[in-house]
Amino acid sequence: MPRCPSCNKLMTHSTQENVRLNTCPGCFGIWIEKIALNRLARTPAPPPADGSPEQSLQELAEIVVESNTKGRLHCPVCPVDLVKDRYHPLIPVEVDRCPKCAAVWLDVGELPLLRRLFAELQSSTDPQVMALRDKVANTALAMEQMHQRTRDLQDINTGTGPLGFGGYGSLGAGSSPEANAVGITMDVLINLLTR
Ligand SMILES: [Zn+2]
Ligand SMILES: [Zn+2]
């Protein structure tokens, strides 16, 4: 069982919506495979089981601003440091990912915020949000076409391709600098989604 990269406690297995992950009993952060995170982030979270009101986007964001690890963390599995990366060009949540095993460390509150922002971004009919979505999708498409041309030219038959920190589904985008340039700040995003 891996230890927490943040507080070094032994993590425990758990599941959320049938997705397996590791939770730290000390700081309540989450250690999760990239593929599992991509799936979970795109699944809207169920309402609180105890009937209490859902936290607002602003409240969720405040928890994350507070909990986000500033220092460099070490992968609990591989002998490398974790890399700080925005999870998605439109979602200003910085996560720590391992460049070797591709697992991701999420400080407490980051997963609920990711899930909420994905849901809000996908359902928003605000023209500015829709324009941003299009921009990310078009950038992703252009990047994919470029990668495809590169693959055709080089006749690479590995089938793995240039894996970005992505799999962004219907929101599009990859982890290229071009796609990340579409990124906006948390304040701007929350303003767009809550007005
Ligand atoms: Zn911890
Ligand atoms: Zn690793």
Together in a domain, 96 and 114: yes
Same domain, 111 and 171: no
Check pLDDT > 70 for residue 155.
no
**Mean pLDDT, residues 75-91:** 92
Q: Which domain holds residue 28?
A: 12-122
Number of independent structural domains in the chain: 2
Distance in Å, CA 32 to ligand 1 centroid: 13
Query: What does the pLDDT read at residue 30?
Result: 97
105 and 143 share a domain?
no
pLDDT band at 102; cut points 50, 70, 90: confident
Q: Of 85, 111, 113, 89, which Cα lies nearest the Cα of 98?
A: 85
**pLDDT above 60 (res 161):** no
Q: Find tokens 């609990």 and name the residue.
A: 76
pTM score: 0.81
Segment among 40-44, 60-64, 140-144 with least mean pLDDT = 140-144
| 51 CA from centroid of ligand 1 (Å) | 28
* Domain end (from 96, 122, 148): 122
Q: What's residue 21's pLDDT?
A: 96
- Compute the distance from residue 67 Cα to the ligand 1 centre, in Å: 11
CA of 30 to the centre of ligand 1 (A): 8
- Which ranges constitute the DSSP H helices of 14-168? 34-41, 57-67, 110-123, 127-154
| Ligand 1 centroid – CA 26 distance (Å) | 5
Give me the residues paired with residue 15 across strands: 20
Ligand 1 centre to CA of 25 (Å) is 7
Report which bound ligand comes closest to the CA of 102: 2
